[in-house]
């Protein structure tokens, strides 16, 4: 390789596979899919290793590839998903800035998220609640809050309108709130 920024692909699996898997499973909620995405990440990195310029660290470069693979997964998935239309029940629950209105805001949960046990349990329950969302709601939620994509990017990737996006994100937040309050807060 003539590139002065060389990669040591021999250690990728040892050094990064577990971390990439944890990153991916939080976003796709399916072990098999997460494993496939991590494999595709390594394969894609191997194929494009000649183009590595050394601008980002090897680790960040692999995470960027993985993030793009996750987005590709949701893009492909969204083209095969057919969701039924239902009335929007979120009117009056959120304001124009996507925040809960004063009357509908969740109650204070009084949970110490700095305690490792509570934090792990919370994320486990959040993952279960997230998996109960309809697929498009889950896709929009993950892209918005875990991948930090903006509305325009999400709509483009999923092939949806902005009004459809807002309905999906509101329903996802309502579903997660309801599930968390039943399975975490009110235990």
Domain ranges of the chain: 9-80, 116-185
pLDDT at 148 over 60: yes
pLDDT at 3 over 70: no
Q: What is the 3-state secondary structure (H, E, C) of 37-72?
A: HHHHHHHHHHHCHHHCCCCCCHHHHHHHHHHHHHHH
In the CATH hierarchy, which fold is given to the domain comprising 116-185? Arc Repressor Mutant, subunit A (1.10.10)
Q: Which residues contact 46 (CB under 8 A, 6 or more apart)?
A: 9
Cα(57)–Cα(46) distance, rounded to whole angstroms? Answer: 15
Mean pLDDT of the 139-160 span: 90
pLDDT at 81 over 60: no
Task: Name the average pLDDT for the chain.
Answer: 80
pLDDT at 118 over 70: no
For residue 85, what pLDDT is reported? 41
Cα(39)–Cα(41) distance, rounded to whole angstroms? Answer: 5
Identify the CATH number of the domain defined by range 9-80.
Answer: 1.10.1740
The answer, as to whether pTM is greater than 0.85, is no
pLDDT at 75 over 60: yes
Mean pLDDT of the 125-133 span: 86
54 CB neighbour count, 10 Å cutoff: 12
pLDDT at 42 over 90: yes
Encode pLDDT of 48-65 as tens digits.
888 888 888 889 999 999
Residue 84 pLDDT level (bands cut at 50, 70, 90): very low
Mean pLDDT of the 113-133 span: 78
Contact by Cβ (8 Å): 118, 112: yes
Encode pLDDT of 7-21 as tens digits.
777 788 889 999 999
DSSP 8-state code for residue 100: B
């Amino acid at each position: 390789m003539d590139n002065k920024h060389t990669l040591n692909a021999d250690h990728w699996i040892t050094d990064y596979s577990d971390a990439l898997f944890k990153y991916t499973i939080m976003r796709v909620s399916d072990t098999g899919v997460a494993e496939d995405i991590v494999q595709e990440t390594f394969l894609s990195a191997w194929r494009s290793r000649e183009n590595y310029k050394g601008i980002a660290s090897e680790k960040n470069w692999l995470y960027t590839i993985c993030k793009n693979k996750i987005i590709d997964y949701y893009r492909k998935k969204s083209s095969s998903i057919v969701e039924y239309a239902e009335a929007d029940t979120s009117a009056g629950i959120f304001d124009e800035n996507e925040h809960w209105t004063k009357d509908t805001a969740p109650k204070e949960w009084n949970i110490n998220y700095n305690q490792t046990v509570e934090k792990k349990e919370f994320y486990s329950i959040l993952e279960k609640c997230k998996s109960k969302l309809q697929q498009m709601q889950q896709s929009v939620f993950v892209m918005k809050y875990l991948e930090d994509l903006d509305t325009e990017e999400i709509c483009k990737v999923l092939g949806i309108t902005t009004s459809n996006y807002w309905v999906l994100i509101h329903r996802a937040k309502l579903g997660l709130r309801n599930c968390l309050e039943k399975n975490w807060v009110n235990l």
